[in-house]
Each structure stands twice: as C-alpha cells, then as structure tokens.
Amino acid sequence: MHGVLLEVENLRMHFPIYGGILRRRIGSVRAVDGVSLAVSGGETLGLVGESGCGKTTLGRCLLKLYTPTSGTVRFDGQDVLKLGKGALRRLRRQMQMIFQDPFESLDARFTVGDILQEPFDIHAIGTADERRQRVANLLARVGLDPAGMTRFPHEFSGGQRQRIGIARAIALAPRLIICDEPVSALDVSIQAQIINLLLDLQKEMGLTYVFIAHDLSVVKHVADRIAVMYLGKIVEMADAESLYRSPCHPYTHALIAAIPVPDPAQRRKRVLLSGDVASPIHPPDGCTFHPRCPFAAARCRIERPELRPAPGTRDGHHLQACLRAAEIRLPALHWLKRQNGR
Amino acid sequence: MRLSPLTIKKIRRFKSIKRGYWSLIIFALMVTLSLGAELLVNRRALIVHYQGRYYFPVYGRMLPGKTFGLDYNYETNYRKLAKVFASRHAGDWVLMPVVPYGPYENDLKPNRYPPFAPSFADRHFLGTDTIGRDVLARLVYGFRIAVFFSLALLAANFLIGVSIGSAMGFWGGKFDLFFQRIIEIWSNVPFLYVIIIISSIVVPNFFMLVVIMALFGWISITWTIRTMAYKEKAREYVLAARAMGASDLRIIFRHIIPNTVAIIVTFAPFAVSSGIISLTSLDYLGFGLPPPTPSWGELLQQGWANLDAWWIVASVIVAMVITLLTVTFIGEAVREAYDPRMHTTYE
C-alpha cells in the first residue's frame, strides 16, 4: 500500500439556521460533527450510512465545495482548506467527484463533447485538436461511442450519462475520486456495469476512491475499508472483511442485517431499530444513537463515545464508537458467512 | 453551432401556434420594410433619368435644382420635376417611391389649410396632419424610430440586468442585500415626474431618452435574472464545474446565463411592446423625442385635438393596434413554446 493520501481530522460542517425577527443565528444543522479518517493511496474507502447522515456533505467538504466550520483536510500533506484560489484550482486537478444524479450533474445545454472538454478548457491543457482527441479517448475508455460527442445529455440513458460523468471525473487524471452515490440512481443491472468500470479504472489509473453509498451490498464489492456514519459521526470503521464478519457497533449490525438476501430458503433474523433518526439540529446527548439502540444503558445517555479500537484488536484496523462494545454480544449474522466476500 | 434538439422542438412548437407564427412573419415584414423606408416613403425620387444619365438621389447627398436644369439651388422638388419632365417629353423621367412625401416636409396648398383628407390623386393615402405632413410617412418613420428605441432599450436593460442580476444572484451576501435595497428605493421613484423634469431642462435626443428610460427599466429584468442565478447556482452541474476548478466568471457566463435564455426570450417581445407604448406615451405628453421627429404619440396628440380630421387618429390607432397585437401574440407564442400548457390556452 502506498502512503496516506487523504487525511481528515475532526471535520465539522455546521450549517447555520437563521430565524427570529432579527434573523439571528438560532441554531445549526450539524451535518458533519467531528469526522476523522485517513485514506491510503490506491485503496477504496466506503462511506455508508442512511440518508441524511452527512456522507454527501462530508464528500463535498473534502473537495472544499463547502467550507467546513472547523477541522482539517490534508491531501498529500497539503491543507486543502487553507489554500488560495490559484493553488486550490491546481489541486482540483488531483481530486475529482462523480455525482449522484447523472442528469442534474451535466449541463443540459452543453453537448457531451463540450462537457468533457471543459476540464481541459479550464486548465488550458493542449490545443483544440488535442482536446477533441482526448475527449474521444475518454468516451471510448468508459465504453461509449466517440461519435456521441455531438449529442446532448438527454439523448443518453441514465447509465450512459453516469459513464459520461465518470469520463469527466477521470479527464484530468486525478489521484483521488470521491464517488458520491454513483450507482444509486441506476437500476441493478447497470449498477454492476458501472461498478466494474470503476474498478477497472482504479486498477488502470491507480486511483483512490472514497465511495459514498447507502447500499451496503454495493459497497461490499468495491471497498477495501468501510466507515459507517450516523448523524454526522463515524460510528465504525474497519476493513470490509472484518466489518461484515464481526461488526461491533449495534448500528452497523442492524445495517448489515438489513441487507436483502436473494435466497428465499435462507431465513434471516431481523434486527429492527426503534424510532427514527434524530434530527441533526438537536442531536441526542451522549451517544447519538442511544434512543434507537437496543443495548442502550444509562451511561450511553451521558458519555460521548470516541472512535476506539474494537475489543480484541490492538492497532487501528477496526475502530468503533460504542461505549458498551466490550460488554454486548451482537447476534451472529449466519447467512453472511455463506456469501462470497471480497 | 449545432442547435440542441430541445431548441428545435421549441421552434417547432412555436411554429405550430399559427397566431404567433403569422404575427412573427407580419412583424418581421413590418420591421424589414421600415428598414428600407427610404425606398418606399420619401420625397426624393428613386431614379432620375436626365439627359442620358441616371441619378439615385435616395441615399446620396442633396441634389440641387440646378442639376436637373431647374433654376434654384436648394433641394430639387422631385414631384414637380416629374411633372416638368412629363410636359417636356424629352425622354427624361423620374421614378418616385410609392408614397412621394417625406415625414418632415409640409405639403401646403394654396387657399386650403391642412389637415388635408386622404386623397389618392395627391398620393396622400392617409391624409396629412395639421401642418401638412403626410400621415403615412410619419407613421412609417415613426414606427422605425419606435422599434429601434425599444430594441435599444431592451439591449441596454439586458446588459445592465445581466451584469448586476447575475452578480447579485451568484455572489449573494452583502452585495445582494445592498442592491436589493437600492432596487426597492429606486423602484419607488415616480418615473414619469422624473422624465418630465429632465425633459423640461434638457430636450432629450434619441440616445439620451434610451439612457433615461433604461435608468428606470433595468429593475425588472435584473430581478428576474437574480432569481434565475440563485436557482441555477444550487444546481448540481454548477457544483460539478466548481469541482473542476472553474472560475466564477466562467460559471456565470457559460453555465448560468445560457440557462436564463429561456426567460430572456420570453421577456423580449413584451419588452418591445412596452418600449413602443412608453415612447408613444411620452411623445403624446410632449416629453419624449423633440419635434419634428416623426412619432406616433405626437400624431396622436394632434389627432386628439382635431377629431374632425378623423384620419389622423384612425391611422395611428390602427397602426398601434396592429403592432401591439402582433408583438403580444409573438410573446404569448414564445412563452407557450417554452412552457406548454402553463399559461394561455389555444384551441
């Protein structure tokens, strides 16, 4: 493995809420509330969680598309958040993003050729002919006909549009790509193709991915390590194998138990969480998961958990944020043993 | 530049609204004819054949009477010249435009006072106004001035609106707040009084009037573009452009403003119609373009004061109705082409 490429320390993104007669700041939406992680070069970090847990916001903060309230993001040693405009633009060549909605993220008034040429235009790379050639190469690389350059996004299907989005992201040969739910808007058969494309590109170009998703079965195929987020905090982070085999945090356990199994003969034990996700404006005290946790105890309401190594491990390979991890025994998820891991 | 299939679809939708499509054809015809107004309505002849040579007096310099053998040095009266040549039978001829009168000349007749009724013999097809100027000539040249005025006003408003509106919408913050307050205050200033005051101090020429009207008209389009800019700024493709490192100006000019084209195109015909109305109203009150500039408002004012010379009022009213109807139909059709089934209903 290569060295650490991306390092995030205590990132917080609080969106202000204004209200009252004088439009003062009366509160904040704590979208990201103290996230620390590290991604090594060449690996894929999966970032999972429910809708609204802050994963998309985190992804955008990593690229400084939102300016975080506090914390640091270090890319290759450089503090991304402190860079000036010129340096930031140069850095943007190395960090790119694939967006969730393949239609919204492409400007409907541009032809596909123009959309893919824009990164080269912005950074003034090559002559006009060279740029056109590169666009044709990009289209071929993602499995589309280069003649599609003159067509408009709405003339393509959803999966093809996502391929165009991927082509745009790899145009500048970045080192890190943040994939913000790239397959959530596609149907299952296309999802597999896109994921295979992403994996091929990773091998070929030596890319590092931060793969944001809410679908654990998708992340299983893609990620080397997985971080599970809840209400703006990471509650568990481990390599994929360990996470699926022995999750420590009750939330992770419930998520994994909820993965549908395409075999009607297998009966799975349902782990149902009570209640709804709390609001990020008023997160609960102590462990933010305690209102829904089946193992909640008195101290869970008071103490705020930190990410600590899982019981039984020493180094930082498997981190979790449950206060009672050593005491509780999560029911084994037998059926997962039958399935092929990565 | 390849037209997007969306644009082609919109054009086809526009064409399918017959009322708007024909209005566009009629209006385009009117504007084109008014561009060549000098060839249709002019006191100067189109071609003069004199002693074997051809003269084309329309667009050139003034040809004095001596050029054609007459005994005066001021501009030739081509109508009289035609009569003189005809009586001489020397092979010389004069070809006059359809309406052989200019908008500035007073055609006075002995023992009669203008306004003269329409007469085909005199080629005053719509009669003359109270000082003997041909009404049709005044209408045609007045239309040209009104249309140019509206287009110039639209361009000025658009330029201001785009620059300030997109800046307000895109950067927001204090700049936006500041300009919002300015717009609120400025839109409460009574526009008519200010124009009256300015016009009494300094008689405005064409460009000054455009500037004055733009000073008051920039607000509505600025507000519209500001709203569009706010809306577009939140779209994901703008975020994608920022992720690639696009500069703010690039995002505004290449992403946001082209997406406001729909609003501008639906705005434009109504702006043209309101420009024509504003100019006519100002001229009616006497505070617009200075006399003797041909203008419908001035004609209307004369006509109102001389209702027994019904041809003046009637001509202006018919002309205004036709113009404004065609422009309004065009505007409605454009709006329908962009947003079908959301506004008016068509059979």
Buried b / exposed e along A98-125 (16+ C-beta atoms within 10 A): bbbbbbbbbbebbbbbbbbbbbbbbbee
In a shared domain, residues B75 and B209 = no
What is the maximum span of chain B, computed from C-alpha positions, in angstroms? 83
Alpha carbons within 13 A on the beta-carbon side of A61: 29
Distance CA(B75)–CA(B146), nearest Å, equals 28
Residue B145 within a domain: yes
Residue B120 within a domain: no
Q: Do A104 and B244 touch (CB under 8 A)?
A: no
In a shared domain, residues B83 and B141 = no
Q: In the numeric block, which tokens belong to residue A252?
A: 């992770």
**CATH at residue B13:** 1.10.3720.10
Note the pLDDT of residue A336.
55
Closest listed residue to residue B169, CA positions, set B217, B224, B250, B238: B224
Distance CA(B181)–CA(B183), nearest Å, equals 5
For tokens 């620390």, the residue is A36
Q: Using an 8 Å Cβ cutoff, are B240 and B185 in contact?
A: no
* Minimal-distance CA residue of chain B relative to A96: B243
In a shared domain, residues B15 and B55 = no
Note the pLDDT of residue A95.
92
Q: Do A152 and B6 touch (CB under 8 A)?
A: yes
Give B-chain residues touching A93 at CB under 8 angstroms.
245
Residue B89 within a domain: yes
Per-residue confidence at A341, pLDDT binned at 50, 70, 90? Answer: very low
Residue B62 within a domain: yes
Note the pLDDT of residue A337.
52
Rounded average pLDDT over A179-204: 90
Q: Which residues of chain B have pLDDT under 50?
A: 343-345, 347
* A23 in reach of chain B (CB within 8 A): no
Please confirm whether the linkage preceding A68 is cis (ω < 30° from 0).
no
Residue B160 within a domain: yes
Residue B193 within a domain: yes
The number of residues making up chain B comes to: 347
Q: What are phi and psi of A96, to 5 degrees?
A: -130, 175
Distance CA(B330)–CA(B272), nearest Å, equals 11
Rounded average pLDDT over A271-284: 81
Closest listed residue to residue B127, CA positions, set B291, B283, B308: B308
Note the pLDDT of residue B342.
52
Q: Do B244 and A60 touch (CB under 8 A)?
A: no
B interface with A, Cβ–Cβ < 8 A, is: 2, 4-6, 235-237, 239-247, 250, 255, 258-259
Note the pLDDT of residue A13.
92
In a shared domain, residues B32 and B79 = no
Alpha-carbon gap: B259 to the closest alpha carbon of chain A (Å): 7
Q: How many CB pairs under 8 A join A and B?
A: 60
In a shared domain, residues B25 and B80 = no
Amino acid letter for position A38? A
Note the pLDDT of residue A329.
78
Residue B129 within a domain: no
Domains of chain A: 42-66+84-223 (3.40.50.300), 244-342 (no CATH)
The number of residues making up chain A comes to: 342
Considering only CB atoms, A109 lies closest to which of B239, B244, B259, namely: B259
Closest listed residue to residue A340, CA positions, set A200, A217, A197: A217
In a shared domain, residues B62 and B87 = yes
In a shared domain, residues B287 and B149 = yes
In a shared domain, residues B322 and B215 = yes
> B55: Cβ–Cβ under 8 A, 6 or more apart, which residues?
B45, B47, B48, B49, B63, B67
Note the pLDDT of residue A170.
93
Note the pLDDT of residue B341.
58
Q: Is B29 exposed, middle or buried (0-12, 13-18, 19+ CB in 10 A)?
A: exposed
Rounded average pLDDT over A280-305: 85
Is the pLDDT at A49 greater than 70? The verdict is: yes
Rounded average pLDDT over A60-79: 89
* A65 in reach of chain B (CB within 8 A): yes
In a shared domain, residues B329 and B281 = yes
* A173 in reach of chain B (CB within 8 A): no
In a shared domain, residues B153 and B61 = no
Please confirm whether the linkage preceding B292 is cis (ω < 30° from 0).
yes
* A57 in reach of chain B (CB within 8 A): no
Q: In the numeric block, which tokens belong to residue A13?
A: 């993104």
Residue B116 within a domain: no
Rounded average pLDDT over A32-42: 90
Q: Do B4 and A123 touch (CB under 8 A)?
A: no
The pTM for the full model equals 0.79
Considering only CB atoms, A122 lies closest to which of B5, B239, B250, namely: B250
Q: In the numeric block, which tokens belong to residue B35?
A: 């561009």
For tokens 């500037």, the residue is B211
Note the pLDDT of residue B11.
86
> Out of A118-132, A319-333, B94-108, B324-338, which region has the weakest mean confidence (pLDDT)?
A319-333
Task: Report strand pairing: B93-95 vs B53-55.
Answer: unpaired
Amino acid letter for position B58? V
Q: Which residues pair with A178 in a beta bridge?
A: A97, A210
Choose between A109 and B327: higher pLDDT. B327
Q: Using an 8 Å Cβ cutoff, are A254 and A273 in contact?
A: yes
SS3 string of chain A?
Answer: CCCEEEEEEEEEEEEEEEECCCCEEEEEEEEEEEEEEEEECCCEEEEECCCCCCHHHHHHHHCCCCCCCEEEEEECCEEHHHCCHHHHHHHHCCEEEECCCCCCCCCCCCCHHHHHHHHHHHCCCCCHHHHHHHHHHHHHHCCCCHHHHHCCHHHCCHHHHHHHHHHHHHCCCCCEEEEECCCCCCCHHHHHHHHHHHHHHHHHHCCEEEEEECCHHHHHHHCCEEEEEECCEEEEEEEHHHHHHCCCCHHHHHHHHCCCCCCCCCCCCCCCCCCCCCCCCCCCCCCCCCCCCCCCCHHHHCCCCCCEECCCCCCCCCEECCCCCCCCCCCCCHHHHHCCCC
Q: Do B236 and A92 touch (CB under 8 A)?
A: no
The boundaries of the domain holding residue B282 are 5-36+137-338
pLDDT digits (tens, 9 = 90+) for B50-65: 888 888 888 888 888 8
* Minimal-distance CA residue of chain A relative to B234: A104
In a shared domain, residues B31 and B48 = no
In a shared domain, residues B12 and B141 = yes
| Domains identified in chain B, total number | 2
Mean residue pLDDT of chain A comes to: 86
